Structure 1
């Protein structure tokens, strides 16, 4: 379990807030994927970047569901 994480259903307070627009999220996603791809496998940098990619992907899905009509 991630030591930064709180109880299930809550957001860790140390995570920076993510932007609301899909375009901004996609830019962050590209940057986080690039950091993950450059980092050595199983390193702290890799794990941190992979967690960030996941957080961003969840937010992208939320933004897409909120669109009229939803993407996907």
Structure 2
């Protein structure tokens, strides 16, 4: 099990990677990613990220974390 800081870093890294890969699809203009990490919070979202298209890239909009990761 990862500690809260490591979990937060991994979630951010995977979210950025997902957004970068989905940016290759021209039809996608917005992405919302929800994360559930049962080892930290069973059955509930622990993080949420939104991205919006800007040119050929996706930029971060909203970033939310459950208090267990803050």
TM-score, normalised by the number of residues in structure 2? 0.38
Higher strand share: 2
Instruction: Tell which structure's C-alpha radius of gyration is larger.
Output: 1
Higher helix share: 1
TM-score, normalised by the number of residues in structure 1? 0.37
